[in-house]
Amino acid sequence: MTATKGELEKLRIECFESPDYTTPSTGRFEAYINPQEIVISYDVEYDGSQGAGTTNSRMEFKKAKPGDLSLTFTLDGTGANGRLVDGKPLDVQKQVELFQTVTGYSGKIHRTSYLKVAWGTLSIKRCVLKSASIAYKLFHPNGVPLRAVITANFTDNSDDTTRVAMVQDESSDLTHLRLVKAGDTLPALCTAIYGDPFRYLDVARVNGLTQFRRLETGKTLIFPPLGK
């Protein structure tokens, strides 16, 4: 789901049972207060072997290792931030349990779920949970938690082909999110992403657009992978 103009774009985490994400999503978590920090880290492996009688080594590229994504966000059930669920303050404990259910172990597949993490204009990341910590910061006098900070670390679950494509910022093999700017047209955006302006009908269908000739400035559009 994409936020309309002026609406909060929520961080969302979806879980899947298949490693290729071809099955429907089995659960979804949304953050009502978006992350204070997002850290994307990755390692590149080189062969630094040195020949006999030489004083220096040439760093030969071997591979790009799966990358990590770290998020830190707050669950606030005090109501002080104005974020309400069905007119009531957020139930922090239920949200923590939902986060653990979506990102954690699945009895159906006998392992942790395969995840998609997305927020704003960041490319959708296919990953699995690596670690998580939950710090409860505030409590009601009866012991009910009113505020918690979740720090979650995810590691890349993409295959080698997808990871190579992710290095290429404009690869048409991946899902892209684009924020519409003044003067943007759907055929022009399709040309930039797919190299084919006639993909605009598919993109309009995915985004539920009926008036695709005039795009709403500030709206985020989803551009699915080719063939999807």
Full-prediction pTM beyond 0.75?
no
Query: Is residue 193 helix, strand or coil?
Result: helix
Tell me how far apart the alpha carbons of residues 201 and 208 are, in angstroms, rounded to a whole number.
10
Looking at residue 17, what DSSP letter applies? S
State yes or no: pLDDT of 57 exceeds 70. no
Tell me how far apart the alpha carbons of residues 108 and 116 are, in angstroms, rounded to a whole number.
18
Backbone angles phi, psi at 73, to 5 degrees: -145, 160
Q: Show Cβ contacts of residue 219 under 8 Å, excluding neighbours closer than 6 positions.
A: 2, 4, 5, 179, 180
Backbone angles phi, psi at 57, to 5 degrees: -125, 145
pLDDT tens-digit readout, 60-116: 766 666 778 898 989 998 877 656 666 788 899 999 999 999 999 999 999 999 999
Beta strands 27-30 and 37-41 are unpaired
pLDDT at 82: 55
Q: Where do the domains of the chain lie, and which CATH numbers do they carry?
A: 1-44+63-167 (2.40.30), 169-228 (3.10.350.10)
Place of tokens 């936020």: 3
Tell me how far apart the alpha carbons of residues 154 and 131 are, in angstroms, rounded to a whole number.
7
pLDDT at 4: 45
pLDDT tens-digit readout, 6-46: 445 678 999 999 988 888 899 999 988 878 778 888 777 77
Q: Show Cβ contacts of residue 74 under 8 Å, excluding neighbours closer than 6 positions.
A: 33, 36, 147, 148, 149, 150
